[in-house]
Amino acid sequence: MLSDYVYQQRSQRRLQRIIGASHLDQFTEWLVGQRYAKSTVRSYLFGAAHFLAWTRTKGNRDFSTLGQVCLTTYRDHLIESRGGAPRAHEFCNSFCSARTFVRFLRHRGIVSVERDEAPPLVSRFCLWMRSHRGNKESTVANYRYVLRKLLQRYGCEPRSYTAAQLRTFILAESRGYSHSNVETHVTAVRMFVRFLMAHGECSDALQHAIPRVGKWGQAVLPRYIEQEAVERVIAACEADTPLGSRDRAVLLLLARLGLRAGDVANLRLDDLDWTQGRIRVSGKSRTPAWLPLPQDAGDAVLHYLASVRPRAATDRVFLIMRAPYTPILSRQITSTAERVIKHAGIAAPSFGAHLFRHSAATGWLRQGLPLQSIGAVLRHTDLDTTAIYAKVDVGLLQQVAAPWPGENSTC
């Protein structure tokens, strides 16, 4: 089997010497079983050999020690060797090869699966957030990432924390990042303080230690494109190709129902009720909502499932189009939207998946739908969140404008 991917005998002998004949054959067979392309299999074989050769220069000759720490060190080595360029460690599949080889060793039981190394206090907090607050795993993971850094800086004795320390941490970790990133850090620390107070593990004086992030409410107009431009983007997907078929189904769900990228990425096969013509979406909460499935979006999804979707051991609706055919991620939904928008030649104010959500809400308002109905489809818990879309048309502002003091008529 190796000769089908590495043609020169000299290269075959070198790979066998570095990886080992038995491991090399098993790794090759495993890659083929994962349905990687022929060129990818060849690239990963040479990349794994380069990774192992590097580990041996560091005195590491035991496969069982090749874990996450080793991978992180190797990634830093690749970045440094290429001048610190952004994402330099991914050039030529170098890091992907090493990570895939370690995954193969874990599959074979040679390398043990590493457990969550979060401090016990953070693990307790995460369990509390799941059971008492009902947070989704993605939200808990964001909080865990922030709190690990907090405990690394100030230790695991929360009784010694001060308000100044918490504020310093927020400022240091958020400097140079977006407003949403700052809000994530603030929310994570504030929820952590509430958890500690509920269990009597910190001073009550920390309750108001971290103020809210300053931001003008509804300070900007929603970024959207006209419905004609939306249709041009959808038409730019080549439905007769596998990738175009998947992209068209994804974009129709974004454009017709105003779904978020995470909503589409997390769709499962049993979320599609073909009998009733509806789709189940959980969104940011654990409470699912059933939405009507438009005819064109349903036809596109059905065509993708019946003719295009690769066979894989997962119930996720949308998969990536290259082996090993794993479920698509939220950021890949956003990348798909960006790629198709640019391919269509649309002059858009932004290129993410959320552009279709804003465009759908704006179009519904202009068609005369009330804000309450639009908020229900978008699954907003507060009408003020939906009201931002009324700013795109002065006439629609009359629906949300408050009476002027002393007058009976609205503005």
Looking up residue 276, the CATH number of its domain turns out to be 1.10.443.10
For residues 84 and 154, membership in a common domain is answered with no
For residues 56 and 145, membership in a common domain is answered with no
| 248 included as an active-site residue | no
Q: pLDDT value at position 332?
A: 93
| Domain stops at, among 81, 107, 133 | 107
Single out the catalytic residue among 185, 354, 358, 379: 354
Decide if 252 contacts 234 (C-beta within 8 A).
Answer: yes
Single out the catalytic residue among 23, 256, 260, 309: 260
| 284 included as an active-site residue | yes
For residues 246 and 186, membership in a common domain is answered with no
- The H or E element containing residue 75 is helix 68-81
Query: Closest Cα to residue 11, out of 43, 34, 54?
Result: 43
Single out the catalytic residue among 185, 357, 358, 379: 357
Single out the catalytic residue among 5, 161, 224, 389: 389
For residues 237 and 326, membership in a common domain is answered with yes
The Cα–Cα gap between 147 and 185 comes to 9
The Cα–Cα gap between 286 and 281 comes to 9
**Residue-wise pLDDT tens digits, 12-37:** 899 999 999 889 999 999 998 888 88
Looking up residue 131, the CATH number of its domain turns out to be 1.10.150.130
For residues 257 and 292, membership in a common domain is answered with yes
Domain total of the chain = 3
For residues 299 and 239, membership in a common domain is answered with yes
The Cα–Cα gap between 124 and 130 comes to 10
For residues 242 and 306, membership in a common domain is answered with yes
**Residue-wise pLDDT tens digits, 228-245:** 999 999 999 998 999 999
For residues 236 and 344, membership in a common domain is answered with yes
For residues 232 and 348, membership in a common domain is answered with yes
| Domain stops at, among 310, 331, 352 | 352
Residue 411's pLDDT band, with cuts at 50, 70 and 90, is very low
| 354 included as an active-site residue | yes
| Domain stops at, among 107, 139, 171 | 107
| 13 included as an active-site residue | no
Provide the domain limits for residue 283: 227-352
Q: Which amino acid type is present at position 100?
A: T
Res. 396: pLDDT tops 60: no
Single out the catalytic residue among 50, 124, 167, 380: 380
For residues 129 and 157, membership in a common domain is answered with yes
For residues 306 and 244, membership in a common domain is answered with yes
Q: Is 215 domain-assigned?
A: no
Q: pLDDT value at position 92?
A: 61
**Residue-wise pLDDT tens digits, 153-199:** 998 899 899 999 999 999 888 776 767 778 888 999 999 999 999 99
Single out the catalytic residue among 278, 284, 303, 391: 284
Res. 58: pLDDT tops 70: yes
Q: pLDDT value at position 203?
A: 82
Q: Which residues pair with 268 in a beta bridge?
A: 316
